[in-house]
Amino acid sequence: MASRKEGTGSTATSSSSTTGGAGKGKGKGGSGDSAVKQVQIDGLVIIKHYQEEGQGTEVVQGVLLGLVVEDRLEITNCFPFPQHTEDDADFDEVQYQMEMMRSLRHVNIDHLHVGWYQSTYYGSFVTRALLDSQFSYQHAIEESVVLIYDPIKTAQGSLSLKAYRLTPKLMEVCKEKDFSPEALKKANITFEYMFEEVPIVIKNSHLINVLMWELEKKSAVADKHELLSLASSNHLGKNLQLLMDRVDEMSQDIVKYNTYMRNTSKQQQQKHQYQQRRQQENMQRQSRGEPPLPEEDLSKLFKPPQPPARMDSLLIAGQINTYCQNIKEFTAQNLGKLFMAQALQEYNN
Amino acid sequence: MSRFFTTGSDSESESSLSGEELVTKPVGGNYGKQPLLLSEDEEDTKRVVRSAKDKRFEELTNLIRTIRNAMKIRDVTKCLEEFELLGKAYGKAKSIVDKEGVPRFYIRILADLEDYLNELWEDKEGKKKMNKNNAKALSTLRQKIRKYNRDFESHITSYKQNPEQSADEDAEKNEEDSEGSSDEDEDEDGVSAATFLKKKSEAPSGESRKFLKKMDDEDEDSEDSEDDEDWDTGSTSSDSDSEEEEGKQTALASRFLKKAPTTDEDKKAAEKKREDKAKKKHDRKSKRLDEEEEDNEGGEWERVRGGVPLVKEKPKMFAKGTEITHAVVIKKLNEILQARGKKGTDRAAQIELLQLLVQIAAENNLGEGVIVKIKFNIIASLYDYNPNLATYMKPEMWGKCLDCINELMDILFANPNIFVGENILEESENLHNADQPLRVRGCILTLVERMDEEFTKIMQNTDPHSQEYVEHLKDEAQVCAIIERVQRYLEEKGTTEEVCRIYLLRILHTYYKFDYKAHQRQLTPPEGSSKSEQDQAENEGEDSAVLMERLCKYIYAKDRTDRIRTCAILCHIYHHALHSRWYQARDLMLMSHLQDNIQHADPPVQILYNRTMVQLGICAFRQGLTKDAHNALLDIQSSGRAKELLGQGLLLRSLQERNQEQEKVERRRQVPFHLHINLELLECVYLVSAMLLEIPYMAAHESDARRRMISKQFHHQLRVGERQPLLGPPESMREHVVAASKAMKMGDWKTCHSFIINEKMNGKVWDLFPEADKVRTMLVRKIQEESLRTYLFTYSSVYDSISMETLSDMFELDLPTVHSIISKMIINEELMASLDQPTQTVVMHRTEPTAQQNLALQLAEKLGSLVENNERVFDHKQGTYGGYFRGECFRLLSSPGFWYPHSLSPGTPSTSFPSLSCRPEGRLPQKRGLHAPRWLPPAAISNGLLSSPLCLTPRLSNLEVLSHTSGIKSLFKVVMVDCLLPQRCVESIHLLIIFLSFYPHDRHKARMQR
């Protein structure tokens, strides 16, 4: 399996979906100011990642090592974080990382920390946790990326590997830690401009490429045809279910926001009324020749309601977006397959 | 055991208290007496305690001495300090004090200190002179001691009553302080013979008790019963002690009897004491022997007294030679009765006396009136025998009671001229004047009701799994017989009200019994009419059904109290249900409207109601009416407290919530075991009927988001079953049902059948029904039918058509049944299919949405609400409700031209386009629209679809579905600006819907390819 995957990746540029994504990322980000324009991954990294993935159903995380060359980030190695269990809660991750990196340095392997990776199922990676950790990475090491790998999609026949960075806008917002509606508005940020995708190039040494070709020849035809499987219900169902959950969350969030808005406006009204009454009274007093009433602190009288943080809804929207993309891709591909199958059938008849 | 202990200690403290009050010279009395008794006990066994006691008491006395000194020099601060220390020391000595009683000197110092402080407090001038510290200490100390003394109030008052003694003791104290208290005790023993004797006269009961207690301690349980008896006599004797004061005539003799030995005994004891004192240092063993002897004697002395009334009363009843007349006997009777209910009356003796009186009356031919009167009283005092409501009659008492009632009834039946009534006044009674009808006060009905209660109590308190219970249950026949007799009697003489009450009693003893005879008769229809008639004659008349009918109808017609009627109705329903007369039972239940107002009834009636409902449910189940069964049982089962609701046991977990009192009340409400409804049967019936309802329902609504559960309990069981990590063959009833449900889900009726009906389940549940086989055949049939339905729901999507014959083979149902079931499903629109008559096949329409389509529908619905919410946010921003949009912007967006530049149907006017308002009523197409796969023109498929899926949109835009989604889409586009919503979502749904419309094809193809 591993070999075949690399086979697909062994052509200098990665699979079509990745390049498509890359194009979009470029277009959307439109960010000349971003430090990294391209990510070049060594095949080794993918294999390593893939291997640890095979072990369980838990989400796998780890550290990417490599270096930056001009505007290209070269990832040459990686190591995983150990899986957490409840009994070793006092495990020191930082310590572990440092030691790991030191050890790697001893054997003369690239030891510069350039980001981290994480696996995901059905593309459900747009979460608060990811945002926070990527922010801290990017804050500390400017050019770090997060590599997202989807084992399920990969098992269906197309390598799904994507590199993401936070956009500079989002970085600013996160730095200020102000997620109020106003701040987000000012920052002009929407779910589409939260992450930028960095195009990935997979690079292998010539020796490996040769091996690939050999393996390609040897592998049976049936091995390659997972791509053509017509079964779709499971994946689609799962995706829909997930999408539905997020939509529910979104709905709730909107309701929350709605109540907030209503409360604010109600208060505004009250405030206004109060002010008017005050004014009238003052006018009367003036006409009677009395001194006007002293000014009171209105903000004390009317405490504005706490605005709900909008970051979550942004994230949910982002997540919905990813799901939608997934579904779209998936259905489009499957439609194609269906028509192909139909044509084949007709031809056979 | 414990009961005796507690009462023992109670009365002990009582006696010691009364001792204090009565004894005129109790100086060391209280203090001296108790250590005396105890030191005797201790000397041989626990010498260690003694020294500990000395130590503690010494500590106390030392402290007290310092306090006294401080008091003398008016150093209140010192007093306060010492007082606190004293309190602590007393706390340490607590264990000893508990045993010995509060030491006298301690009480004395408390009282003195309080007096002293009060004095100081009053003395205003003195207070002024005091320095600040002292004044402060004074107020604190005063408060403290007040609070502290509250605990010792009784002791202090008693001390204050004879303060002159304190001086005595004081002197004594000062002399003997160093010697320790034990010596002190013995010194005090020798105060004077007279005092001692007096003291002793109160003491013995206490002493004997001590002795008994000690016995118990030593050889624990072996002598339980003996002790009990001893104890009984002990208590009676002490009771009569107090009786003396009240001047009871009956006990007078016993008092003298008692006195004599007491004095003798005491004198002896006193002598011995003196001797003891003389040879103080004599070895202890001999002393102990002596004491033991003494104690034994004391015990004997007790026992003799117990027997006294029996032996002595007999001749004493009437002085010899007295002419026995009515007046004398009645006077005597009243005499005896006066003692009734008073504290300390020997109830057993009283019953004995009354029985004697009856004998005498009978011997002297005083007439039935008197005898009836006395009998009434005997029965009443039998009931009175147990003062406690919770305890039940002893078997011999109970037997006596039954006999007595029977005799009474005999007399009443034999002498129709006796009138009995509770409203006949004492004065207007006529007991002997034979010319006029005899009139006796008393109510036979109340007696019988009380008897019934007693019977219930006996049954409640007997272990239901013992032979004893069976023995007791045999009495039930007797009880019924008595009730019947009384019923006959009252039918002649009683008022309607009384008749109603006795009828109810009869009903309560009838309703829960399954009438096997009637059942048998029903089963063997009149083959040889003459013979069956004979049988019937033998079978002593009426069926219980007829009987119930008659009794209940009388009550319905005549009763004025609501309660009796309610009970009668419930019993009637229960009886109907028990005998499988479902429709009568149901109609009666519905007509009575009890369901509406039963919550206002008292708990026993509610329990009866619950029992009735359960029986009704079980009856419905036997008739094969699963739905009714489920509904009837739902309330009881869903609460999870069936046991409690049926009055068949208390739940452990609510033990904390109720206190002792409540528990007692609840315990009294419990239904005796022979009336119980088997809880496992109940649960099984419930679960099986839930299964028969729920499984097809689940299959039919597999992918319905808003599906409701029919039975939570059943689902709970299913979940529990799923959670099992390792699934073995089912053991319990529940596991069987769960396993059966799983089989049924697959439409596998044979497995389901084998899980529901097998050896284990038969033994556990089904054999409990009177007509077990009938129930089983019904059940099999039900399982077949519901499995068929489930099968069709689950697998209809796989079939294009299916022959009914195959189905009838599969489920072993005959063709008409299959036909009717399928027709019903089609009519109810549960199954999208039609019947092809000539070929006997079911042709599926294949219109049910697939799982994905269902999901998409759900999603669309959710999106609808999301859009709606979003719209609101937007409205808010705009300040106007949608006017802006609908007017300008949206029309632009939603016009076909805008969204569908390549639209194939450009002629569609914008007005016909669904408006923005994707509100619930106009929301997405209901099932029908979406799943028709054939609308996709083949041309469209071949027409460049592969290149870009998105360009499908225009071609399909004639679809209602898509127009709706486009509505959503436009909305998203609009709202997005502000609220960050993904329009891609809509896009992808769009695509998804197209994809899904292909989906059936997809499946076909996939199958064909394989």
For B994-1007, how does the pLDDT look when each residue is reduced to its tens digit (9 = 90+)? Answer: 555 544 433 433 34
Q: Which of A178-182, B800-804, B937-941, B958-962 has the highest mean pLDDT?
A: B800-804
User: Among B862, B876, B987, whose Cβ lies nearest the Cβ of A244?
Assistant: B862
pLDDT at B490 over 50: yes
Q: How far is CA B76 from CA A257, B70, B134, B138, B143, in A?
A: 72, 7, 5, 6, 13
Q: Which helix (H) or strand (E) holds A148?
A: strand A145-149
Q: How far is CA B898 from CA A40, B903, B906, B994, in A?
A: 42, 10, 11, 21
For the segment A254-266, the average pLDDT, to the nearest whole number, is: 84
* Half-sphere exposure of residue B354: CA atoms within 13 angstroms, side-chain side: 27
Residue B121, chain A, CB below 8 Å: the answer is no
pLDDT at B617 over 80: yes
DSSP 8-state symbol, B520: H
SS3 A55: coil
Concatenating the DSSP letter of every residue in B865-912 gives HHHHHHHHHHHHHHSSSSHHIIIIIHHHHHSHHHH-TT-S-TT--GGG
Q: Are strands A145-149 and A113-119 parallel, antiparallel or unpaired?
A: parallel
Residue B439, beta-bridge partner list = B419, B430
Lowest mean pLDDT among A38-52, B195-209, B746-760: B195-209
Residues of B in contact with A248 (CB under 8 A): 862
For the segment B425-445, the average pLDDT, to the nearest whole number, is: 68
The angle, 0 to 180 degrees and rounded to 10, between the axes of the packed helices B444-461 and B496-508 is 20
pLDDT in tens, B282-305: 444 444 444 444 444 444 444 444
Give first-to-last CA distance, chain A, whole Å. 35
Q: What count of other Cβ atoms lies within 10 Å of the Cβ of residue B885? A: 23
Cα–Cα distance measured from residue A12 to residue B442, given in angstroms and rounded to the nearest whole number: 114
Percent of chain A with pLDDT over 90: 0
Cα–Cα distance measured from residue B343 to residue B11, given in angstroms and rounded to the nearest whole number: 13
Q: What is the mean pLDDT of chain B?
A: 67
Residue B855, chain A, CB below 8 Å: the answer is yes
Mutate to test the interface with B, among A126, A190, A240 (most CBs of B within 10 A): A240
The rounded radius of gyration (Å) of the Cα atoms in chain B is 45
* B1006·A230 Cβ contact <8 A: yes
Mutate to test the interface with A, among B703, B956, B980 (most CBs of A within 10 A): B980
Query: Are the beta carbons of B175 and B183 closer than 8 angstroms?
Result: no
Cα–Cα distance measured from residue B8 to residue B235, given in angstroms and rounded to the nearest whole number: 9
What pLDDT does residue A10 have? 36
Query: Are the beta carbons of B473 and B459 closer than 8 angstroms?
Result: yes
* B1002·A338 Cβ contact <8 A: yes
Residue B941, chain A, CB below 8 Å: the answer is yes
Higher pLDDT, B390 or B373: B373
Cα–Cα distance measured from residue B820 to residue B817, given in angstroms and rounded to the nearest whole number: 5
Which residue spans within B139-250 are E strands per DSSP?
none
pLDDT in tens, B157-208: 777 777 655 444 444 444 444 444 444 444 444 444 444 444 444 444 444 4
How far does B216 lie from chain A, in Å, by closest CA?
A: 55
How far does A33 lie from chain B, in Å, by closest CA?
A: 25
Phi, psi of B29 (to 5 degrees): -40, -65
pLDDT band at B530 (very low <50, low <70, confident <90, very high): very low
How far does A312 lie from chain B, in Å, by closest CA?
A: 11
pLDDT at B267 over 70: no
The burial of B718, by beta-carbon neighbours within 10 Å (0-12 exposed, 13-18 middle, 19 or more buried), is given as: buried
Cα B261 from chain centroid (whole Å): 51
Q: Are strands B801-803 and A113-119 parallel, antiparallel or unpaired?
A: unpaired
* A335·B1001 Cβ contact <8 A: no
Q: Which of A44-48, A327-331, B549-553, B993-997 has the highest mean pLDDT?
A: B549-553
For the segment A150-174, the average pLDDT, to the nearest whole number, is: 79
Residues of A in contact with B979 (CB under 8 A): 254
pLDDT at B334 over 80: no
How many CB pairs lie under 8 A apart between chains A and B?
121
Query: Are the beta carbons of B1002 and A230 closer than 8 angstroms?
Result: yes
* B869·A254 Cβ contact <8 A: yes
Q: Which residues contact B970 (CB under 8 A, 6 or more apart)?
A: B890, B893, B894, B899, B916
What pLDDT does residue B42 have? 41
For the segment B95-116, the average pLDDT, to the nearest whole number, is: 75
Q: Which of A19-23, B579-583, B1006-1010 has the highest mean pLDDT?
A: B579-583
User: Among A323, A335, A341, whose Cβ lies nearest the Cβ of B995?
Assistant: A335
* A339·B941 Cβ contact <8 A: yes
Percent of chain B with pLDDT over 70: 56
Residue of chain A with shortest Cα separation from B859: A244
For the segment B54-71, the average pLDDT, to the nearest whole number, is: 79
How far does B1008 lie from chain A, in Å, by closest CA?
A: 9
User: Among A230, A241, A247, whose Cβ lies nearest the Cβ of B866?
Assistant: A247
Q: Are strands A195-198 and A38-42 parallel, antiparallel or unpaired?
A: unpaired
pLDDT band at B706 (very low <50, low <70, confident <90, very high): low
Q: Which of A16-20, A47-51, A261-265, B112-116 has the highest mean pLDDT?
A: A261-265
Lowest mean pLDDT among A83-87, A304-308, B902-906: B902-906
For the segment B910-915, the average pLDDT, to the nearest whole number, is: 32
pLDDT in tens, B870-899: 777 767 665 544 433 333 333 333 333 333
Residue B943, chain A, CB below 8 Å: the answer is no
Cα–Cα distance measured from residue B540 to residue B933, given in angstroms and rounded to the nearest whole number: 76
pLDDT band at B274 (very low <50, low <70, confident <90, very high): low
What pLDDT does residue A123 have? 76
* B984·A324 Cβ contact <8 A: yes
Residue B1004, chain A, CB below 8 Å: the answer is no
Cα–Cα distance measured from residue B830 to residue B845, given in angstroms and rounded to the nearest whole number: 12
User: Among A191, A240, A342, whose Cβ lies nearest the Cβ of B982?
Assistant: A191
* A331·B869 Cβ contact <8 A: no
* A254·B1005 Cβ contact <8 A: no
Cα–Cα distance measured from residue B802 to residue B795, given in angstroms and rounded to the nearest whole number: 11
Whose tokens are 């006193």? That residue is B270
Lowest mean pLDDT among A13-22, A232-241, B809-818: A13-22
Using a CB–CB cut-off of 8 Å, the residues of A that contact B are 190-191, 230-233, 236-237, 240-241, 243-244, 247-248, 250-251, 254-255, 257-258, 261-262, 265, 310, 313-314, 317, 320-321, 323-325, 327-328, 331-332, 334-336, 338-342, 345
The angle formed by the CA atoms of residues B365, B371 and B374, to the nearest 5 degrees, is 140
Residue A113, beta-bridge partner list = A65
pLDDT at B326 over 80: no
What pLDDT does residue B788 have? 92
Residues of B in contact with A258 (CB under 8 A): 869, 872-873, 876
Residues of A in contact with B856 (CB under 8 A): 240
* Half-sphere exposure of residue B76: CA atoms within 13 angstroms, side-chain side: 25
SS3 B924: coil
pLDDT at B665 over 80: no
Q: Are strands A72-80 and A38-42 parallel, antiparallel or unpaired?
A: parallel
Q: Which of B413-417, B444-448, B893-897 has the highest mean pLDDT?
A: B444-448
What pLDDT does residue B991 have? 57
Maximum pairwise Cα distance, chain A: 104
Concatenating the DSSP letter of every residue in B299-354 gives HHHHHHHHHHHHHHHHHHSS-TT----HHHHHHHHHHHHHHTTSTT--HHHHHHHH
pLDDT at B390 over 70: no
Higher pLDDT, A229 or B890: A229
* B1005·A257 Cβ contact <8 A: no
For the segment A174-194, the average pLDDT, to the nearest whole number, is: 74
How far does B1006 lie from chain A, in Å, by closest CA?
A: 7
For the segment B734-741, the average pLDDT, to the nearest whole number, is: 89
Cα–Cα distance measured from residue B767 to residue B526, given in angstroms and rounded to the nearest whole number: 28
pLDDT at A275 over 70: yes
Q: What count of other Cβ atoms lies within 10 Å of the Cβ of residue B532? A: 15
What pLDDT does residue B646 have? 84
Higher pLDDT, B379 or B249: B379
Mutate to test the interface with A, among B874, B950, B952, B981 (most CBs of A within 10 A): B981
Cα–Cα distance measured from residue B120 to residue B103, given in angstroms and rounded to the nearest whole number: 26
Percent of chain B with pLDDT over 90: 6
What pLDDT does residue B573 have? 92
pLDDT at B838 over 80: yes
pLDDT in tens, B210-259: 444 444 444 444 444 444 444 444 444 444 444 444 444 444 444 444 44
Whose tokens are 């796989």? That residue is B798
Q: Which residues contact B873 (CB under 8 A, 6 or more apart)?
A: A254, A257, A258, A261, B975, B978, B979
Q: What count of other Cβ atoms lies within 10 Å of the Cβ of residue B26? A: 23
* Half-sphere exposure of residue A184: CA atoms within 13 angstroms, side-chain side: 22
Taken in order B863, B867, B869, B870, the sign of the CA dihedral is positive
Q: How far is CA B679 from CA B299, B629, B648, B685, B686, in A?
A: 52, 15, 9, 10, 10
What pLDDT does residue A54 have? 58
Cα–Cα distance measured from residue B231 to residue B211, given in angstroms and rounded to the nearest whole number: 11
* A240·B994 Cβ contact <8 A: no
